[in-house]
Amino acid sequence: MAPQARPEHAPDAVASGTLVAVALLALALSWFLPWWEMQARAPQYGQRTLVVEVSPRGIKGDVFEVDTLGHYVGIRKMETFAQLERSLAPFGMVAAFIGLILAPWLRRRSLRILGALPALLLPVLFMADLDLTMARAANDRDPHAALNLVLSHVDTKLFGEYVVAQFKVTAKPGVGLWLAGLAALLSLGLAFAVPMRLPRGRWRTASKAAMAMFLLFCAAGQAAELKVGPGESISAALSAAEPHDALLVSGLHRERVAVRKPVRIVGQHGAVLDGGGEGTVLRIEASGVEIIGLEVRGSGDVYSRDDAGIRIERASDVRLSEVRVVDSLFGVFAAQADRCAIERSVIVGKDVPADRRGDGIRLWYSSGCVLRGNILERSRDLVIWYSSGTSVEENVVRNSRYGLHYMYSSDNAFRRNRFEDNEVGAAIMYSKRIRLEENAFSFSTGPSADGLLLKDADDVFIERNRFIGNSIGLFVDGAPQSRGGRLDVTRNLFARNDVGVMLQPSTAGGRFFENAFIGNRAQVQMQGTGTAERNTWAVGGRGNYWSDAIIYDRDARGVSALPYKLESTYESLAARRPVLAFFSGTPAAEAIDLAARLFPVFAPRTQLTDPAPLARPPLDDWTATGESRASLALPAVGALLLLTSGGIALISRRAVA
């Protein structure tokens, strides 16, 4: 008797459909909810509990406060970790959705398991990556942090309580992680359920339906444009907008606005947002926001609130372009705004005494930003603090306290900026790996006015800049700071300053070569006792050009055979008795120096020796005039087009003939 075939179980469409629907709903909700939560208690915040929520989309909560605490023990900002994982998370979520939808229809169990795999792996990979990231963040610390030595190894916990220095941390799973775990368990059930059967002839219909849904999804995902006319509320339009929509704003709007969605706000001609003199006018709290062509004016004037025209808070990849900010205490205040861009904008502070102004732009714990082509006037400072990897190009800062106030930031570049008529052109302190190229530091005058102040910095490269008409062109104090650090000052112009370069006696190891010192009252001066001989004044057989040097270019190499020695009896007297500086450059001062040369018994100690002074100023178009030579590319292309057209015309005429 032939054996009977095993009965095949019929698929349960209701059960499979329910599993798919619940799993998809749980996964969708988890995307918008926190997957992990950290609670921290610190003495600095008293009874307040700091809460940070982590999800595949990013980090929210008291991030700024926790990063501030972590800074003291050398822990990097949380935003800098897991950037690759956050960028890949949307693709993982889409793969999980597609796998859950396809799993019930796949005939082979191995294929169903493969379809359920993304949903299964999402929570597992999240927890594993979070555990590794926490351990790396807590133990891969900055060795130069103030309190780094109070910690050894930190045993972090994914769930539970642990201690970091004097901070008590409690970690627990979030609602999003529970929902993702539920979706993973349901997907496992789909993998072992009886597969669904689609009746013959329905595959084509299902394919058309899927294509229609895909096209509908694409159409729904396209950004819409919302027009906001005069008198209409920008805040109301933002409430109705979807992520990535564009708001076209025109006319005057008297309101204060908070942007909490990634949208574009485009100011059409004459668009103005007026805060009425109260608080912050435009607050940006969402990543990916773009503001174009809008005038923002009328902030409050309360320092304790940091009232600003535009404030970017805990939001990355924000872009401001062709924005005008006027009559505001702080122009643009960017706090924890990584990769922000402020371009071609005009910022003018309030018309109040200088000691009551706020900063034109302030970057605070904001790395990887770009400041390009902006004009800042009548502000306090342009501030860059705790913000590394920033590019500052082609900006103009005038009539301010500090054209640039820069501290605790490394790996930044400054190019083609103009700092004019400020109390101090720029102050760069406590930083490393800084490059300044083709900037102009001009007309900073006063009792403590410097074109550029450099203090306690390493690996600073100052090349092809202009220092014109300052009380002190370049003031160096403690740079390079550490053994092995570098300070290269080369191909710069120091002209018509009271002092070209002033050095603290502790300054040693700097290299000054191929600069032009022209018409300064004192080319180089030490503040206090000591000499500049511990620095290098010639590299590769080329020193600097000194307008007061005696030049003897014996072999026409452009280098004088006579070394330049900086010796001035009158400068030495003026350094000891500052009141004598009033007579610098007068016949009386020159007579004292002449007497010292005629009677060497009175000669002071040599301040510096340049063994290879240059016969001519090593100036290019930028350092000589502040402008670059016009590019020859456009005329060349024009000539090529004319020649080509002429040749074609000639060939055509011969062909016709």
pLDDT digits (tens, 9 = 90+) for 383-400: 999 998 899 999 999 989
Note the pLDDT tens digit of each residue in 249-264. 999 999 999 999 999 9
Chain length of the chain? 657
Residues linked to residue 436 through DSSP beta bridges, in sequence order:
414, 462
Bridge-based pairing of strands 167-173 and 36-41 is antiparallel
- DSSP type of residue 504: -
Note the CATH architecture for domain 224-400: 3 Solenoid (2.160)
Q: How far apart are CA 246 and CA 191, in angstroms?
A: 43
Task: Please calculate the CA angle 226-268-373 and round it to the nearest 5 degrees.
Answer: 120
- DSSP type of residue 602: G
Query: pLDDT value at position 212?
Result: 55
91 near 58, Cβ under 8 Å?
no
Q: How far apart are CA 544 and CA 519, in angstroms?
A: 14
Residue that the structure tokens 């083609």 belong to: 416
Q: At 68, which amino acid appears? A: T
623 near 516, Cβ under 8 Å?
yes
Query: pLDDT value at position 78?
Result: 75
171 near 35, Cβ under 8 Å?
no
Query: pLDDT value at position 488?
Result: 95
Burial of 179 (0-12, 13-18, 19+ CB in 10 A): buried
- Select from 49, 84, 86 the least CA-distant residue to 66: 49
Residues linked to residue 442 through DSSP beta bridges, in sequence order:
420, 468
The DSSP element (H or E) to which 135 belongs, if any, is helix 109-139
130 near 54, Cβ under 8 Å?
yes
Q: How far apart are CA 263 and CA 550, in angstroms?
A: 65
- Select from 405, 400, 450 the least CA-distant residue to 431: 405
Q: How far apart are CA 510 and CA 608, in angstroms?
A: 13
Note the pLDDT tens digit of each residue in 180-237. 888 888 888 877 777 777 555 555 665 565 555 545 544 544 567 899 999 899 999 9
Query: pLDDT value at position 645?
Result: 43
30 near 180, Cβ under 8 Å?
yes
8 near 168, Cβ under 8 Å?
no
Query: pLDDT value at position 437?
Result: 94
Note the pLDDT tens digit of each residue in 69-102. 776 677 777 767 787 888 888 888 888 888 888 8
- Select from 521, 548, 540 the least CA-distant residue to 612: 540
Q: Give the helix, strand, coil percentages of the chain, each rounded to 5.
A: 30, 30, 40
- Select from 412, 406, 410 the least CA-distant residue to 392: 412
281 near 300, Cβ under 8 Å?
no
Query: pLDDT value at position 652?
Result: 44
- What 3-state class would DSSP assign to 40? strand
Residue ranges for the chain with pLDDT beneath 50: 1, 5-7, 214, 217-218, 220-221, 629-638, 640-642, 644-646, 648-649, 652-653, 655-656
264 near 239, Cβ under 8 Å?
no
297 near 277, Cβ under 8 Å?
no
Q: At 529, which amino acid appears? A: T
Residues linked to residue 426 through DSSP beta bridges, in sequence order:
452
